[in-house]
Amino acid sequence: MTRRRGRTTSGIELAIPPRPEYLQLVRAVVGAAAGTGPTGRTPPDPGRVADLRLVVSEAVTNAMEAQAAVGAPERILVRCRPEEGRIVVEIVDRGPGFDPDAVPDLPPVTDHERLDHESGLGLSLMDRLADGAVVETGPDGTLVRLTVDHS
Amino acid sequence: MDTGVDGQVQFDVHRSSLAPAVPAGVVLRALGDLDMAGAPRLRSAVVTEVAAGARLLVLDLTGVDHLDSAGLGVVIGALRRLRAHDGDLRLVCPESRLRRVFEACDLDRILELHADVDAAVAEATVR
């Protein structure tokens, strides 16, 4: 990734080992960063910060699983930047990529077979709780860009 | 609590029995972050209890600070395991911010969320 010229540099960037015990750290840092900005800026609602922490946790979990699947030891990048009225977080992994259209739908929650699926809720949570979720994926990795509005 | 790095996981499970009031009843109280790091510990505790004969399992999430899809997966698996043995799962989840996670996945439609362990057990023993 190259830094685009002319854009004001703000926000933070984390590079974390692809191990589950770092999830808590990511949530803490992203949650704190979400409320950090120029003096006088209206901070996001606490409920939206909770949503942000959750969707980022889901995306980083997916990134860790993707890298574990191919034994990729690289650190996962988490970039968090405040924008006017919203927070944007990008999660970049070096996993094998995936076909978003090939992700199977879960059975309806009231179906008996629904209980056979313990995983797969992460993407639903991101769709439901983020205001924007963009996935760019290829054989060299995946970038997920999550946007959460302040209110 | 641990720091969350250097291999330490911020999660613990405390067990208590509901016997003799509910002979095959067990409460598992989860404490900490129920994410991909903490979920395996809870799943393992659930599997152990069901194998040991628990048929009414109360999962108390009151002390859970963070719940995500990894934790929901354990809850779904626990429900499947209990039902396979004609047992039942009860959830204690008083915090609205955790309830919101269940609601976002529609899981509140198949799992009732109780305010405390007494309420969860009361409903269970009436059945």
Could you tell me if A22 lies within 8 Å of chain B, comparing CB atoms?
yes
Q: Residue A72 has what pLDDT? A: 96
> How far is B44 from A117, CA to CA, in rounded Å?
17
Q: Residue B3 has what pLDDT? A: 44
Q: Residue B125 has what pLDDT? A: 56
Per-residue pLDDT tens listing for chain B (127 residues): 444 455 567 899 999 999 999 999 999 999 999 999 999 999 999 999 999 999 999 999 999 999 999 999 999 999 999 999 999 999 999 999 899 999 999 999 999 899 999 999 997 654 4
Q: What is the 3-state secondary structure (H, E, C) of B84-103?
A: HCCCEEEEECCCHHHHHHHH
- Of B68, B94, B86, which Cα lies nearest the Cα of A62? B68
A5 lies in some domain? no
> Which stretches in chain A have pLDDT values below 50?
none
* CATH code (residue A102): 3.30.565.10
Cα of B8 vs its chain's centroid, Å: 21
Interchain CB distance below 8 Å, A24 and B33: yes
Looking at the 3D structure of chain A, how many domains does it have? 1
* Chain B, nearest residue to A46 by Cα: B97
DSSP state of A4: P
Structural domain harbouring A23: 13-149
> How far is A95 from A84, CA to CA, in rounded Å?
32
Interchain CB distance below 8 Å, B68 and A58: yes
Interchain CB distance below 8 Å, B70 and A24: no
Q: A115-127: string of b/e by CB count within 10 Å (b at 16+)?
A: bebbebbbbbbbe
Residue written as token pair 């854009």:
A7
Q: Residue A21 has what pLDDT? A: 94
Q: Residue B1 has what pLDDT? A: 43
Could you tell me if B9 lies within 8 Å of chain A, comparing CB atoms?
yes
> How far is A143 from B82, CA to CA, in rounded Å?
38
Q: How many Å lie between the alpha carbon of B16 and the closest alpha carbon of chain A?
A: 25
Residues of B in contact with A64 (CB under 8 A): 36
Q: Residue B37 has what pLDDT? A: 95
CATH of B11-126, one of 3.30.750.24, 3.40.50.720, 3.40.630.10, 3.50.50.60: 3.30.750.24
DSSP state of B41: H
- Work out the end-to-end distance of chain B between its first and last CA atoms, rounded to an integer number of angstroms: 38
> How far is A47 from A102, CA to CA, in rounded Å?
32
- pLDDT tens-place string over residues A80-110: 998 889 999 999 999 999 887 777 788 888 8
Residue B109 is nearest to which of A47, A109, A119, comparing CB atoms? A109
Q: What's the predicted TM-score (pTM) here?
A: 0.89
Could you tell me if A105 lies within 8 Å of chain B, comparing CB atoms?
no
A4 lies in some domain? no
Interchain CB distance below 8 Å, A118 and B83: no
- Of A72, A126, A132, A73, which Cα lies nearest the Cα of A103? A126
Residues of B in contact with A114 (CB under 8 A): 76, 110
